[in-house]
């Protein structure tokens, strides 16, 4: 199991279903696709929202997976 990290939503386009998250340690941004947002119903994120997730290496760079909103 990968280590879970935290971050803040930089921006998220609900129509296109993707966006970017800034890592809490400010080491960079991570891509997020709506299909990786855990939960039921409409899955979207708001700018500035705190989130928790795992990071995997995608074809074009780091990608967030198994994302949940931070409590």
Q: Domain 4-69 belongs to what topology?
A: OB fold (Dihydrolipoamide Acetyltransferase, E2P) (2.40.50)
| Residue 42 pLDDT > 80 | no
Q: List % helix, strand, coil for the chain (3-state, nearest 5).
A: 5, 55, 40
For residue 58, give both structure tokens.
């995608």
| Domain map (residue ranges) of the chain | 4-69
Q: Which long-range contacts (CB under 8 A, 24 or more apart) does 12-21 make?
A: 12/44, 12/45, 12/46, 12/47, 14/44, 19/45, 21/51, 21/53, 21/64
pLDDT tens-digit readout, 7-28: 999 999 999 999 999 999 988 9
Model confidence, pTM: 0.88
> What mean pLDDT is reported for the chain?
92
Of the given ranges (12-21, 35-44, 59-68), which has the lowest mean pLDDT? 35-44
What is residue 1's predicted lDDT score, i.e. its pLDDT?
A: 55
Helix (H) or strand (E) holding 30, with range, is strand 29-33
For residue 65, give both structure tokens.
């997976």
């Amino acid at each position: 199991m990968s280590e879970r990290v935290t971050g803040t939503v930089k921006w998220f386009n609900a129509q296109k279903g993707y966006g970017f998250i800034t890592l809490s340690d400010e080491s960079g941004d991570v891509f997020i696709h709506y299909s990786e947002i855990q939960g039921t119903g409409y899955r979207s994120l708001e700018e500035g929202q705190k989130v928790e997730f795992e990071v995997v290496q995608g074809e074009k760079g780091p990608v967030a997976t198994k994302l949940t909103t931070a409590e």
